[in-house]
Structure 1
Amino acid sequence: MRAYNFCAGPAALPTAVLEKAQQELLDWQGKGVSIMEMSHRSKDYVAVAEKAEADLRKLMNIPENYKVLFLQGGATLQFSAIPLNLLGKNSQADYIHTGIWSEKAIKEAQRYGQINIVEAGTKVEGKLAISDASTWQLSEQAAYVHYCENETIGGLQFNQIPETKAPLVADLSSSILSAPIDVSKFGLIYAGAQKNIGPAGLTLVIVRDDLLDQVKPEIPSLLKYSAQAKNDSMVNTPATYAWYLSGLVFEWLLEQGGVDAIHKINQQKAALLYGYIDASDFYNNPIAPANRSLMNVPFTLADSNLDKLFLEEAEKNHLLNLAGHRSVGGMRASIYNAVPLEAVQALVQFMDDFAKRNG
């Protein structure tokens, strides 16, 4: 029996995708070798890579004037790659600070340019929230505005795309493909794969063509978006197996009806879990309703001394990886696309039983 996996990343993958990968592991489509043993420059592998990009473009309705790059190094490497690629003509950028991941991006960007930090965290009725964009002090001359759309650790999410004069750069690592977005409103989107895309080891960058000539001269050649675009993300050997598996996830998403269809299921899952927490005196969510994450649901127990017992019993019930991030504690259920509604139903049932026995 497969357990229900609520890990924030590397996260759950669709069972159907894992089964297909298992079937093809030793002999990919009758070739007599595994796809992870194939040359990335072979005709067969290039076709796999091209189909993955085409399916992603379909899922996200990516305009033709955007390059899609399949890179390595995680979203964390993009904290450096973005300023190195975009601050060559103008060394100023705005960074919106809402939590731990935006803070990490800020610290790295400060090595490469003049960074204006916009503090957007606030509280509404005692709960964490994101301040109204009208209160932000954005720079007149910024090369771009960066934000983390969904703070995975804190469970804090923007409820709309910020309106900015400068190109908008978004870390969508934990929310990409979970809900429809208008790609044309962004200059650049990036996302680590290990949450909603595929296994760890791959990073997506979707960048508008007109931003490819903004590089700083000291940029390492491997990090240069224009070089990666020119070489189809194969300046060096890419993460071939992760790319292939991500392509299988894209196929699976299309079979489910695309992003619109999976978004409806995600809304059901979130409504069920938040609804139960809000109705309970035993559990609490620290985020204001308007900024609650669709994907990452943090919660605390009435008595933190029960945390260890909660996690032990949850694991015995095949509900895994519910501990909150070490920096904030408590609990966190990450309910990405591959986590089925049945998993959230089982979690709520367990939470209710645990509260009745320990409340």
Structure 2
Amino acid sequence: MKRALNFNAGPAALPEAVLARAEKEMMNYQDSGMGVMELSHRSKQFEAINEVTKSLLRGLLNIPDDYEVLFLQGGASLQFTMVPMNLLEEGSAAGYVLTGTWSEKALKEAQKIGSAAAIASSKSSNYKSIPSFTEIDVHPDSSYLHITTNNTIYGTQWHDLPKKVNVPLIADMSSDILSRPLHVPSYGLIYAGAQKNLGPSGVTVVIIQKDLLKRSRPDLPSMLNYQVHADSKSLYNTPPTLSVYFLMLVLEWAESIGGVKQLELQNKEKASLLYDAIDSSDGFYKGHAEKESRSLMNITYTLENEDLTSTFLHEAEKSGFIGLAGHRSVGGCRASIYNAVPTEHVEKLAKFMNDFRLRN
């Protein structure tokens, strides 16, 4: 079977072993005579899927018992609203660190709810770098501090994450969750859309400290209230059952290959292949991100002009590479190399980049 060399930014590649398992179970899950998407979300089979998935995530990320794991809908974009609705306290403010488009959008939504402001930003340099935490002054009375740990459009990532800040740290980890070890107690809340490292689109993971759930006001709409979803074990309404099932399969796959530490090693190896191709090109390829802020998930780079870029992308597509066009705000090219992208595919892309440079 022909498989694309998939470097899409999201929805992105899924592990082939996961797809094969899902194909096998698509018509008949555990002798139920139904596919998972046909099961009642109140059935014993799906309740087991729901609980196993939470348990796997807790194990892989070492999530302490004083944190709830929620499976919600609406993507990270809905969390831009739910976070301030639930956690932004009356008479207080929230601080946001701007490192790209998604953190800008998160701040914009928070400002519709209450007092929120950017307390650090790298926008003046077109988001080529990540601010240092030593430069960030968080007011101790702030309701929380919000960061976006990986920036898909600009190809930057937080590498120097704090062990502790003096207010709850909220992190959008949509594009790098499960890609490296994580110290969950450093965070008050973590959220992530699934469609990059966790599974297909449709389910959003929220990891929240139980003490923070007390901030969820009872007058909030039920569907936007973290406490409601925690009380109902993420089954308040019909969940995205198929997406949760795929999330379970991806987590089982991650566990089978050695867990998050092994994934981090693989991701570093993959990223180094492409950054080496960029750095050894004598300026033929130019990376967008500053070296100390480079992402292990999204490698962004430009060529000398639009004509050469167009030729590169055309020849890459003919060679089977999918999803390499950069975002319009940066231009150039972007290779997204999430957990499920095989190292062999990245090796092929690095070779193609080197060969293209020699020919042009």
TM-score normalised according to structure 1 size: 0.96
Of 196-205 and 113-122, more deviation after overlay is shown by 113-122
SS in 2 for 1:248: helix
Partner residue, 2:346: 344
Deviation at residue 328 of structure 1 after TM alignment: 2.0
Equivalent runs, 1:104-115 vs 2, <5 Å: 104-115=105-116
SS at match of 1:336: coil
2:297 to 295, 315, 318: 295
Aligned equivalents of 2:36 and 2:323: distance in 1? 30
1:235 to 1:127, Cα distance in 2 relative to 1, 3 A: closer
In structure 1, the partner of 2:140 is 140
Amino acid at match of 2:143: A
Check whether the contact 2:127–2:154 (CA below 8 A) recurs between aligned residues.
no
- Separation of aligned partners in 2, 1:88 and 1:42: 38
**Match in the other structure for 1:77:** 78
Structure 1 residues 134-188: Cα deviation after superposition (integer angstroms, max 9, x where no partner): 2223223101100001111111111121342001000000000000010011000
Give the direction of change, closer, same or farther, for the CA distance of 1:36–1:127 in structure 2 (3 Å limit). Answer: closer
CA distance in 1, matches of 2:204, 2:75: 5
Task: Find 2:318's aligned residue among 316, 326, 339.
Answer: 316
1:128-167 equivalences in 2 (<5 Å): 128-162=128-162, 163-167=164-168
Is 2:337 the counterpart of 1:335?
Answer: yes
Q: Deviations over 1:277-330 (max 9, x none)?
A: 011131010211111001001011122212222112111111110001122211
Q: Report what 1:5 is aligned to.
A: 6
Q: Which range moves more in the overlay, 304-313 or 2-11?
A: 304-313
Q: Which residue of 2 aligns with 1:234?
A: 235
Q: How does 1:247-266 map to 2 (within 5 A)?
A: 247-266=248-267
Question: What is the Cα-based RMSD across aligned positions, in Å?
Answer: 1.6
Classify the secondary structure of the residue corresponding to 2:192.
Answer: strand
Please show how residues 8-47 of structure 1 align to structure 2 within 5 Å: 8-47=9-48
- Aligned residue for 1:130, secondary structure, equals coil
Unaligned stretches of 5+ in structure 1?
Answer: none
- For residues 127 and 57 of structure 1, what CA distance do their matches in structure 2 show? 33
Aligned residue identity for 1:148: T
Q: 1: distance between equivalents of 2:311 and 2:146?
A: 40
Q: Distance in 2 between matches of 1:154 and 1:329?
A: 10
Maintained 8 Å contact 2:157/2:294: yes
Q: Distance in 2 between the 1:296 and 1:17 partners? A: 22
Q: Give the distance between the partners of 1:90 and 1:217, measured in 2 at CA.
A: 18
- Pairwise CA distance, 1:113: 1.3
After the TM superposition, which segments of 4 or more aligned residues of structure 1 sit over 4 Å from their partners?
A: none
Residues 127 and 288, structure 1, Cα contact 8 Å, conserved in 2 = no
For the Cα contact (< 8 Å) 2:325–2:334, is it kept in 1? yes
Letter matched to residue 8 of structure 1: A
Task: Give the Cα–Cα distance (whole angstroms) in 1 for the partners of residues 91 and 3 of structure 2.
Answer: 51
* C-alpha deviation, 1:120, in angstroms: 3.0
Q: TM-score, normalised by structure 2?
A: 0.96
Code of the residue aligned with 1:56 in structure 2: it is: L
Find the aligned partners of 1:206 and 1:283 in 2 and give their Cα distance: 38
Alpha-carbon contact 1:89-1:214 (below 8 Å) kept: no
Residues of 2 paired with 1:56 and 1:212: CA distance? 20
Q: Is the 2:277–2:353 contact (alpha carbons within 8 Å) kept by the matching residues of 1?
A: no
1: distance between equivalents of 2:238 and 2:317? 38
What percent identity do the matched residue pairs reach? 49
After TM superposition, the structure 1 stretch with the greater mean CA deviation from structure 2, 317-326 or 81-90, is 81-90
- The separation in 2 between residues aligned to 1:99 and 1:90, in whole angstroms, is 28
3-state SS of 1:46 partner: helix
| Partner SS, residue 260 of structure 1 | helix
Which residue type is aligned with residue 292 of structure 1?
R
Amino acid at match of 2:264: H
Structure 2 counterparts to residues 194-213 of structure 1, below 5 A: 194-213=195-214
- Judge conservation of contact 2:172–2:192 (CA < 8 Å) in 1: yes
C-alpha deviation, 1:213, in angstroms: 1.3
Question: How far has the Cα of 1:87 moved from its partner?
Answer: 1.6
User: How far 1:49 moved relative to its partner?
Assistant: 1.0
Residue type of the alignment partner of 2:138: L
Work out the CA distance in 1 between the residues paired with 2:131 and 2:124: 8
Gaps of 5+ in 2: none
TM-aligned CA deviation for residue 89 of structure 1 = 4.7
Give distance in 1, aligned partners of 2:94 and 2:124: 26
